[in-house]
Structure 1
């Protein structure tokens, strides 16, 4: 089979690799029909995080079940499924608590699982990991593209909103206009927020944030003091802030626009935060809580899927470029150069 391979900073190739096979009675083999390039993939692509050259990449698979092990009950060959970015068993202590990303039997999509930016993946713990899309939607491309973000960015944006405590009638601020931040806007609207201030650096992305439900947008990088502007709009800050970037500057900004007694829900993969330091003293002085972390996407998948299929949630506009598997290097470049919000890959 063909799969995307990381060859070093700025280098992605497509190579022939062994096709995964059933290795355990709980496994399923999925033929990937849709996947994506994630903003977090850019960290290793840019050489800003460690990854072994020659490794397979990708963690957002959706496709058709080709084969299942003897112990798999929830899916069968021919089912269309999607999978969160972390494999989880579904029955350990942490899975039962909704913390699937801390699963004691967890796994990733790299290595001999196939790499989700490829033609096939092997899903360990298929019953705990794979989410079935009803048969009547299996050939509906519009629906499938709306479902695909549930593998990662929609669930991650939702985790930011839930962690920040967003509820009906609330005012919140979303820091970041990437795919996760935009999905955070959708999540805040879904949870009933009455005011959503989206903060970013790209006018086109903030325009999409407005389409997704942001009531105000603040553009940084044009001489605007973002913190002052957000505080002005929110009369001193918001009680609920979603940090959807991961950079130290974004975390600092999130804390600065959070109202005393408020909560920052953080889901951006941290980079540079250790060196810069989280503003703990400011948080201490203002009684600001920090909640979040790596999103347990599987915990949210069923509810979010129900809304997508019901027509009340559509994150698909975050896909602004589509490439084939053979063109995936161009997809990475487009993401890296900010020419695409998120790239859809169709193997």
Structure 2
């Protein structure tokens, strides 16, 4: 029998689930298979068939409009239809009755990079799928996957597909707005997007069911979400009053301030605090505060407190009179950034945060 937990992308989460011998439901196993970034679509179909044969059936719980009732009531019934649809999509992507143009994008862990992956694209179009795949450079780092975009001779986007580094097909992506998606009937579109496709209420709720090894105050990162992306970069995990989990991320436009966002924890790994750059100097303080107090805080309230406290310690400097500045270039604001606060230990700063009633 397949160990469906091996399809978890995060090494940390996978090891934890295997250690506690977590038993996924049929729906959870189907979703873990779908989102796995290291197996081919053929292997996914094999795993889905094994789910039908070996795991007890359960409802999908999908609320997607247009999805047939039988697919809401039975994960097994849904998977049977979904496998057939995937086989049809494979045939459509490989169909070459008319001249098509292929564009390539690849996801890579660059050489010398320890944590962050990035997307790179090749602007040139290629007349065949094989030539588009072969153009991907092999000496820039570790290739995670390759995405090929297929267009017709008129420049209309038909569909996309994701390939593993060894060129095995991993996923056929019928994106909204593509010609193939436009031509799908409502039943087929609901089948394609209604249960496994990310994001939807079913997949979001499933991720909350998995036991995770992380705790409030842990410093984490998602390798697929570097700085500059929404929910990107290193963050400090925090449990909320509703027992959800949010992350405190560094604000890009203001040093030592944070924003509360909701990352995909199932793909996350621990980030070593000794690897944090100077710009993340506030993170060890927040981490220590959350770990020591074991408090379920309202993320917006805590974020406002930290940011207001930052402004109290480092108020914006008054604009200086400058004869050369005539005001023609608009308002001028000067901000001085200093250590926070000089001469105070970490323990004293944390105690001050806890006791500040303003």
After TM superposition, the score normalised by the length of structure 2 is 0.24
